[in-house]
Every structure is written in C-alpha cells, then in structure tokens.
Structure 1
Amino acid sequence: MVNIQEIIGKVCPEAVFEENEVALAVVPDAKWHTVAETLKKAGYDWLACVVGEDWGDALGCTYYIKSTSDYSMVSVKVTTTDRENPMLHSVYDVWEIARLEEREVYDFYGIKFINHPDMRRLYLRNDWVGFPLRKDYDENPEINPIRLYHEKTDDTTVTYVEDAEGNVTEKTATIFSPEEFVVNIGPQHPATHGVLRFRTSLDGEEVKKIDLYCGYIHRGVEKLCEKLTYPQTIHFYDRMDYFSALPNEHCVCACIEKALGIEVPRRAQVIRVMVDELSRIASHLLFFGTYCMDLGATTALFYGMRERETILDILEATTGARMSFNYNTIGGVRADLYPTFQEKGKEFLAIMPERLKEYHQLVTGNI
C-alpha cells in the first residue's frame, strides 16, 4: 500500500493529516487540483463519493477516493471560510464522476466549483431559493412555495472560469445547440426503472450527449433527519434504496453505535449479517431479471423473481415486512429470528447454486 502522507506531502507540504480508519488529508484549495492529479497517478482512480459539509465557520467537501488495484481509500477535505460566495476548485477533469458529485454539493450547499463546466442544480429546481443543507438555510415556506408548474428547460448553464492570474469570471455555456437533435428519454420510461429523465442528443442512432435530470423523486431525507432523534430516522434509510434496505439500516445503526460506544451482542451481529446477505442476493436477482427483460429475455425475469420471492418470504417471517423492514435498531435488532429461519434458509442455500446454473444455461450466449 502506498504511503499517502509521503505522496501528498511532496506536492502539498502544508497538508494536515488526521488518523482515522480512512486516511484523511486536509489540503488548501489552491493545492487541491494538484493533489488530485497526484493521487490519480498513484493509482487512486475511483472517486467513490463527495460529501458537502457545513462546519459553521467554514464550508467544504470531503472527497473519498479509492484504488481499484489494492482497494485502499484516502479522504481529502477541502474548505473555504467565504460563506457569502464560497468557491473551490473542481476536479471533474481528474475524475469524471465529479461532474455530477460537485453539482450535488452546489445544489445543497451553494459551493461553486471553479472550472466546472456546468454549475446548475442537480436535484432541486433551478429557481429554488437557498441551499437546504446549510446551517443558515431559511425554511420559511413562503420563500419556496409549492409550484404547480414545471420548470423551464434551459439549454444554457453557468461556469466559473479561472485565468492564468487566478481571476475567476462567470461565463455562460451551452448544453445543447439549436442544430442538435434532442429527444427525451423519461421521466416516465420503462427502460429507466424509475422516475429519471435523459435529454439525449442523437446523430442518427448514435448518442452524442446526455443531460441528466434526476431530482424527480428526491425527498430531502437529509433535511428531515436534522430535527429527529437517531431512532426516529432509521425507517427513512429503508426507503432511500429499498433493494438494500437492511444493509442501509445496518450501516447507520453501526455508525451511531460506534460514536456512542455501544457494544452490540454477538447474536445480533450475526443476525444482521445474515439478513444483509439475503437482502443482497435478492437485490442481485432483481437486477439480473430486469436487465435480461430489457434485452428481451422475459423468462429470465420470472426465474429471478421466483428465487427473490423465496428470500422475501424468509425475511418477512422474521421482520414482518417484505421491503421496508425497519428491523435494525440502535444496539441490535428489533426481534430474534423466526423459528423457521434456519430451516428455510438452508433450503434456499441448497437450491440457489442449481438455479445459477439454470440462469447461465438460459441467458449466456442466448440473447
């Protein structure tokens, strides 16, 4: 594993390092782009997540970056104390996914990213007033009343360009030119498997460019949780991704338990892992089935749903639900395993390897 402090220290001697489970480096914004390029060259090729934060006296981001070769992770914190016009340098040209991640941070915290090509909101309407996850956000409903009309689709965006002298200028950029042939995919389309809209530029049958609209079902769970106690928030995490409801609950409870120094009984730890793994397999089965259905293989969908139903039956007996479980709680789980859990679980594990062979025979080389 590479020495993160040595790598970052060579290009940014003023970096401050903190000892955590994930190596954390605090770097000044002026050096952030150089540090990002250095990390990319050192093998940290996957930007896993960008988390915007408001510390009260400063705004900023924590970038979580992974290496796909040795699976190590480093986190880098970049901040600004300018709350009136916060700006940080974009790293979208280092990790392409930052193009969307940084737009999300701008949407909720108002941080503008220098040299980012598209500083529009990502989830909220472009006419939304304020930045909801900032501590000084005004929640007065009169400021953002419920609008009964759809926002206008605009083919221009804003970018903040820095010149060689360090001066930043606001400029207008074009998303789609009048000459481009643009069609909508979604927001209601069977292939999106959710409420999602793609404005798509086509040249014949070739897709040239896609503009993503993904805020149709954003429910502001982060904001809802700010005024609730920890136990009151757990059921929200089921609904953030119902395919991974149990692992989501587990992660949040484990985070709270670690912060509070709560020791979870061994039996509860094992139960959590078992239901997480069943949930994971069920999620993969749904992915397999719907992916094959999109390719025209309808039979594969029913095969995958057949095994998924078996898993949901097992989970329902223990948790009382099939999708939104609300089963984990701080300190453990809400109920012990149902008496038939072991028997039904072993039956499923016995048939699943044969079912995988069946999927392989049906699908591989046949679509």
Structure 2
Amino acid sequence: METKTIYIAPQQLSDEMRRLREDEQMDFLESLTGMDWGEPAENDTPDQLRGLGVVYHLESTVSGKRLVVTTSTLDREHPQLPSVTPIWKGAELPEREVYDFFGIVFTGHPDMRRLFLRNDWVGYPLRKDNDPEKENPLRMSNEETLDTTREVEITPEGDYQERETVLFGDDEYVVNIGPQHPATHGVLRFRVSLEGENIHKIDVNCGYIHRGIEKMNESLTYPQTLALTDRLDYLGAMQNRHALCMCIEKAMGVEVSPRVQVIRTIMDELQRIDSHILFFSCLCQDLGATTAFLYGFRDREKLLDIFEETCGGRLILNYNTIGGVQADLHPNFVHRVKEFIPYMRRNLKEYHDIFTGNIIAQQRLKGIGVLSREEAISFGATGGTGRASGWACDVRKRMPYAAYDKVEFREIVRTEGDCMARYLVRMDEILESLHIIEQLIDNIPEGPYQEKMKPIIRVPEGSYYAAVEGSRGEFGVYLESRGDKTPYRLHYRATGLPLVGTINTITRGAKIADLIAIGGTLDYVVPDIDR
C-alpha cells in the first residue's frame, strides 16, 4: 500500500504536526531526513519541491496508518523551520543532525549545536553547493567543547532572537565517560553531571568516528552503495544491506525469487542471534561476569563459521545484492544450521543459570533505567528497547517483508521497561529466531539466487522508503532519485540514534554505576549512530 505524501508550509508546520499527533494519533516519528532540493528553475512545476527542507515519516501506533510530510524553505542564507521537538522527543538529535549537515535552524529547538562535526567546521557538507574539502583544510588543533546550548525563538513581532543556556554550571561536578571507556561500546562520549553518586544530567557527544557515508553515497552507483551498509551497525550487517536492496528493488519494481526471500530471512535471523549473543557477552563483561562473556563468544564463533562458508566474511558479509544474493548457499549450510539450533537452545539455559539468576545481575538490572511505553514511542526507541517497555514495534509484524508472513513467531513484549526487561526480551528473541529458522531450513524453495539485472542500474525518479527489523530496531532507508545511476539522496534511519537520545531521560537520578548497565541494555552500536 502506497503511503500518502503531503506538503505543509513552514508557517503552518507546528499547528499541523500537532494536529496530526493529537487528532490522527501520529505518535511515532519514524524518520526525519534533511534535504537540499536545489535552487528553483524556470521550468519547475508548482508541485516541485525546491530549497532546503525536511521529510518526516509518521506512523500511528494505534491505527497503523502511515504518512509522509515534507516542508521546505527557499532562504539559503538563513534557513529556518519550526522544531517538532515539543511534539516528539525523538526529533531532538535528528534535527541537530539536519542543522549540522544542511544549516537549517529549527526555531524552538532547545539545543541547536552541531551533533557530529567539529564546532569550528565551516559550511554544511550535505548541501549540493558545498565543498567541504575546500572550506576545511586539514588542521591538527583540538576542538573546543561548547558548554552552552543555543535556542532560536520567534518573538510575537515575528523577529528571531537567540537565547543561550549554560550546560554545566561552575558548581557542577562533571565527569567524562568515554570516548575511550570500554562500556560506551564504541567511541562515544558522555559528559555526566553528578550530585554525589547520582546522575543529574548527561550531555551526549557523537561524531568521533563519523565517516560521511551519506555524502559518499551521492557519488557512488547503486551497487557501490551496498558495501557501506555493512559498516554501519556491523552486528546488523545482513539486515542493513537487506533494507537497501529492498528499497532499490521496490523502486525499480524488481521481484526476487522465493528462494532469495527465504535465504534473506534465514540470514537476517542468524544475524539477529549473532547480535544478541554479543549483547549478552558484552553486558556480562560490563557487569564483571567474565565467564559468561566467554560462553557467549564460544557460541558466536559457530555462527561466524556458518556465515564465512557462504558469504566469505565473518563481520562484513557483503551478501545481499540488488535482485538477489551474492552466491548460493554452501552445501554444508543446511546441515550446520540444523546442528546449531538444538546446540543454541541448550546453551541458552546455561546463560540463564550463570547470569540471569545471579543475585548481583538481578540487583544491577531490576528497576534500573525505566523507560515508559509513552517515552519509548516519543523517542522512537524501537527494537528490544521499545518492546521491553510494552510497545509492539516489530517491523516484521507491522510491515511484513521477505518470508516473515509465511512463518509463525511471537513478538516478545514485556512491560517493566527496565534493564532486566531489555535483557530478557533479547534472550527470548534468540529462541524465536531459532524457531523462525527451524520452519524455513528444510523448506528453502528451488529457483535462481540472483535476478538478471542491467549492467548500469538506474532507479526511476521519485522518493522511496523501506525498513527492516534490525538487530537493534527499525533500520530504514530513505532514497530520493532523479533517475540517474547515483542516488540524489540516501539517508539511513539509524537504529542507535533514538536509543542514545533516551540516555539523559532514563538515567536521571540513577547511580553512576547504573549508567553502565543502562548503556549496555540499550544495546546501541556507535558506527550506526556516527554515519
């Protein structure tokens, strides 16, 4: 079913978005994408979007209805749009990202600082008229950390005024967690204001490994863009690439064979188990349970061996292609997967014996870092985090794809919303993934593993969105094409950015040691955030 797209002028955006949220129950801001549609041309039709703007994907968790909203401004010197952060909390970091790369200032946003780039960066690199290398020569000086937020407001007279707020006062005790702390699970920096051992406030600093993947995509052909998806969330590499291939195939009207659909489903679930085992291992290590950490790595090796035989890789898999998969399944694949299923079920009981029931694990996880269902939806915290808070947000159920409509499985939902719930959801999801694979492994249809594609792939002009249930939640791909062999704009809905967006809210009042358990159970992967 096609999703309706509407345009809302900036002057009406705040009122209309609030109406959509309240009257039509559009409570989930699925994706927020910055755009540069270019300068107006003489032969433009009235319905053509021009200038700098934003594309919003909205969804109602009540009715399941979905809507795409676009807005834009022709003012390239001082582009400004109203912020939607008062309506959806999850807009805060994506709007900062759009400001960072396009220079659009969101009036009413509480914190208009750059999110990924240095504060002294010149220009906005995702604008079509920007030359980042020319304006930013190599410099070895350290970046100065900003301790003030910037809020732009519109006065009753229609003028703009800026207001600065000091992040941390002189009397606050601020400690750094990261960017090299092992429990930040990547190069991520938290500046934590403490009152004794209790967390008062956290300022999240991203961008330490930002690689400009979305900018690079604009100069790559469609087959070339595939290589970069594995390097986002590398524990969801198979699913990320699946989403991009699915989006391109949908745009081109290509239907892959039933064999490919089943192979992709099995591979996605093996990847999910791989990710959840590593989640278990790292959480155990963070909390001091080294033996459990080693158990997880022992079992994950068996999965990586299965991947390696068919894909040739263990972490960067490069398997899905436009129209199919890179190679057919290895002759040992079915046998090894069928051996792994009972092995993993047996060892999962071992995990629960050594860690889940441990009194230290119980005290460190139960009642800690509680995220309510309403907050999870408002932040857009999907995946195991959202389901642990009572939100049934599984893309495999909401928008079935591949072979998920042909298998039976439970969506694991808990209501506690704490660290223990987030942990148990993922442990139970391993069992469900094994159940899905079990239903498919003896019923892989015959047929081609790759459709015949043209040597040069051109996507028809238009805008397209596709999403999969990644290891950490909804991984979405927004593609805008002008009919060329390269994408005009390719944006990824990172699974980890909404998770990190919740940190300041769910750690308030918790102990500094609880930050480690909360970060571990949110299960973000930093390269997915720092695209």
Q: How many angstroms does 1:93 deviate by?
A: 1.8
Pick one of 58, 71, 87 that aligns with 1:65.
58
Give secondary structure in 2 for the equivalent of 1:171: strand
Distance 2:53 2:224 in 1: 28
Q: How many angstroms does 1:173 deviate by?
A: 2.5
Pick one of 172, 175, 178 that aligns with 1:183.
175
Distance 2:214 2:60 in 1: 28
CA displacement, residues 261-302 of structure 1 (integer Å, 9 cap, x when unaligned): 223222222212211111111111111221222222222222
Pick one of 15, 18, 35 that aligns with 2:16.
35
**Structure 1 residue 234 corresponds to structure 2 residue 215:** no
Pick one of 21, 30, 50 that aligns with 2:32.
50
Please identify, of 99-108 and 67-76, the stretch whose mean Cα deviation from structure 2 is larger. Answer: 67-76
Q: How many angstroms does 1:241 deviate by?
A: 1.3
**Structure 1 residue 207 corresponds to structure 2 residue 199:** yes
Asked whether the 8 Å contact 1:155–1:177 carries over to 2, the reply is no
Relative to 1, partners in 2 of residues 1:120 and 1:260: Cα closer, same or farther, differing over 3 Å? same
Pick one of 24, 46, 65 that aligns with 2:5.
24
**Structure 1 residue 224 corresponds to structure 2 residue 216:** yes
The amino acid across from 1:34 in the alignment is: D
**Structure 1 residue 75 corresponds to structure 2 residue 68:** yes
Q: How many angstroms does 1:219 deviate by?
A: 0.2
2:243 aligned residue: 251
2:335 aligned residue: 343
2:354 aligned residue: 362
CA displacement, residues 157-190 of structure 1 (integer Å, 9 cap, x when unaligned): 3221112333221232222222221111111001
Relative to 1, partners in 2 of residues 1:34 and 1:257: Cα closer, same or farther, differing over 3 Å? same
Which segments of 5 or more consecutive residues in structure 1 lack a partner in the other structure?
1-19
CA displacement, residues 191-232 of structure 1 (integer Å, 9 cap, x when unaligned): 101001111111111111111111001100111111111111
2:477 aligned residue: none
Q: How many angstroms does 1:72 deviate by?
A: 4.4
Please identify, of 127-136 and 256-265, the stretch whose mean Cα deviation from structure 2 is larger. Answer: 256-265
Asked whether the 8 Å contact 1:158–1:173 carries over to 2, the reply is yes
2:252 aligned residue: 260
2:102 aligned residue: 109
Relative to 1, partners in 2 of residues 1:81 and 1:234: Cα closer, same or farther, differing over 3 Å? same
Give secondary structure in 1 for the equivalent of 2:210: coil
Distance 2:63 2:283 in 1: 30
1:3 aligned residue: none
Please identify, of 293-302 and 78-87, the stretch whose mean Cα deviation from structure 2 is larger. Answer: 293-302
1:87 aligned residue: 80
Q: How many angstroms does 1:342 deviate by?
A: 0.3
CA displacement, residues 317-363 of structure 1 (integer Å, 9 cap, x when unaligned): 00001011111111111110000000001111122222222222332
Asked whether the 8 Å contact 1:113–1:160 carries over to 2, the reply is yes
Q: How many angstroms does 1:69 deviate by?
A: 4.5
2:284 aligned residue: 292
Pick one of 294, 317, 321 that aligns with 2:313.
321
Q: How many angstroms does 1:77 deviate by?
A: 1.7
2:274 aligned residue: 282
Distance 1:356 1:35 in 2: 49
Please identify, of 326-335 and 355-364, the stretch whose mean Cα deviation from structure 2 is larger. Answer: 355-364
Relative to 1, partners in 2 of residues 1:73 and 1:205: Cα closer, same or farther, differing over 3 Å? farther
Distance 2:61 2:352 in 1: 27
Pick one of 161, 166, 183 that aligns with 2:158.
166
CA RMSD of aligned residues (A): 1.8
Q: How many residues align?
A: 347
Give secondary structure in 1 for the equivalent of 2:340: helix
TM-score under structure 1 length normalisation: 0.89
**Structure 1 residue 332 corresponds to structure 2 residue 324:** yes
The amino acid across from 1:326 in the alignment is: N
The amino acid across from 2:10 in the alignment is: D
Distance 1:262 1:133 in 2: 30
Distance 2:203 2:258 in 1: 48
Give secondary structure in 2 for the equivalent of 1:243: coil
Give secondary structure in 1 for the equivalent of 2:163: strand
CA displacement, residues 9-65 of structure 1 (integer Å, 9 cap, x when unaligned): xxxxxxxxxxx7334332222222223333333543332321111111221112223
Structure with the bigger RCO (C-alpha within 8 Å, sep 6+) is 2
Give secondary structure in 1 for the equivalent of 2:191: strand
Q: How many angstroms does 1:88 deviate by?
A: 0.6
CA displacement, residues 80-102 of structure 1 (integer Å, 9 cap, x when unaligned): 12222111111112222211110
1:14 aligned residue: none
Q: How many angstroms does 1:136 deviate by?
A: 1.0
The amino acid across from 2:286 in the alignment is: D
